[in-house]
Structure 1
Amino acid sequence: MNFRPRQKEEPEINLIPFIDVLLVILIFLMLSTTYSKFTALQLTLPVADAQQLRDHPREVIVSVAADGRYAVNKSTLEGKRVEQVAQALTEAATAGRDSVVIISADAAAPHQSVVTVMEAARRVGLSQITFATQSSATAGK
């Protein structure tokens, strides 16, 4: 008779398939998530049905509030003169003359404020200018 105590095998949980499934879910969520840009000023964008632009590292976003205040890449400017906006654009344009200026103006912003941003971009040598809008589907919300 064999009275020696038997060693019980401990059950082992294999974590590798669990980690694989989590990584697949993480990649799926990263690819399917949309990101919104938030500006430093509260804006109501004009409405247009155009294709949305993706994030690019050479973008310079200039926000124009309804009262004519400016923000360049989320940092608010103190003044409203062309020289001050041009100086801020020079500092924000990391890609140099290849930078794209995106004017995100409030629908009620004065026309002169938008022209001031365009003039400042011209003085700095930034010729690629586009305007941010919201789609008509999200305008009613």
Structure 2
Amino acid sequence: MRFRRSRHDDVNVNITPLIDVVFLLLIFFMVTTTFTRETQLQIDLPESQSQVAAEDQKPIEILIDRTGTYALNGQVLIKSDIESLKQALAEVSTGNLTKPIVLTGDAEAPHQAFVIALDAVAQLGFVKVSITTQAESSE
């Protein structure tokens, strides 16, 4: 018996569509990418011989716990409303609006408590306000 040999066709992979897709992706990423130029200024800070002014002003600490209760320099306020916070701030600052204020709050504290504290500070006219945070722990 005579068997026919099967023909082996040459296998070709057409990569033209692949190249087209790669070029389209390249063009897409080039068009949608934004390039920012960050500039850094070289500055020389002024020098000072006396550090008394920086050490004299002890900051006013506003602490907010997870329930939204306020404490001013370690003394807990009875009410947690804006009026009592403003009154306590006015008493502690003795009218000195240049005193720095440090706002420290629990991570679970309600956002409204922060807003009330910042609003009270702004209504009284304080200009130096900072919010304390802690660095992320790498676990």
Per the normalisation by structure 2, the TM-score is: 0.56
- 1:130/1:87 Cα in 2 relative to 1: closer, same or farther (>3 Å)? same
Indicate if the aligned counterparts of 1:58 and 1:93 stay in contact, CA closer than 8 A: no
Residue of structure 2 equivalent to 1:128: 128
Identity %: 26
**Cα distance in 2 for residues equivalent to 1:56 and 1:70:** 25
Gapped runs of 5+ residues in structure 2? 1-53
**Cα distance in 2 for residues equivalent to 1:66 and 1:87:** 22
- 1:56/1:64 Cα in 2 relative to 1: closer, same or farther (>3 Å)? farther
What's the CA shift for 1:127? 2.2
Residue of structure 2 equivalent to 1:99: 99
What's the CA shift for 1:74? 0.3
- Which amino acid in the other structure matches residue 113 of structure 2? S
Residue of structure 2 equivalent to 1:60: 60
Indicate if the aligned counterparts of 1:64 and 1:113 stay in contact, CA closer than 8 A: yes
Residue of structure 2 equivalent to 1:114: 114
- 1:56/1:65 Cα in 2 relative to 1: closer, same or farther (>3 Å)? farther
Once the two structures are superposed, residues 1-41 of structure 1 have per-residue CA deviations (whole angstroms, 9 ceiling, x without a partner) of xxxxxxxxxxxxxxxxxxxxxxxxxxxxxxxxxxxxxxxxx
**Cα distance in 1 for residues equivalent to 2:133 and 2:91:** 25
Aligned residues: 86
* SS of the residue 1:103 aligns to: strand
Indicate if the aligned counterparts of 2:57 and 2:100 stay in contact, CA closer than 8 A: no
What's the CA shift for 1:63? 0.2
- 1:64/1:55 Cα in 2 relative to 1: closer, same or farther (>3 Å)? farther
- 1:96/1:106 Cα in 2 relative to 1: closer, same or farther (>3 Å)? same
Residue of structure 1 equivalent to 2:90: 90
What's the CA shift for 1:94? 4.6
- Which amino acid in the other structure matches residue 73 of structure 1? N
Q: Which has the higher contact order (CA 8 A, sep 6+)?
A: 1
- Which amino acid in the other structure matches residue 120 of structure 1? A
Gapped runs of 5+ residues in structure 1? 1-53
**Cα distance in 1 for residues equivalent to 2:106 and 2:98:** 25
**Cα distance in 2 for residues equivalent to 1:62 and 1:134:** 16
Indicate if the aligned counterparts of 1:58 and 1:98 stay in contact, CA closer than 8 A: no
**Cα distance in 2 for residues equivalent to 1:83 and 1:92:** 14
RMSD across aligned positions (CA): 2.3
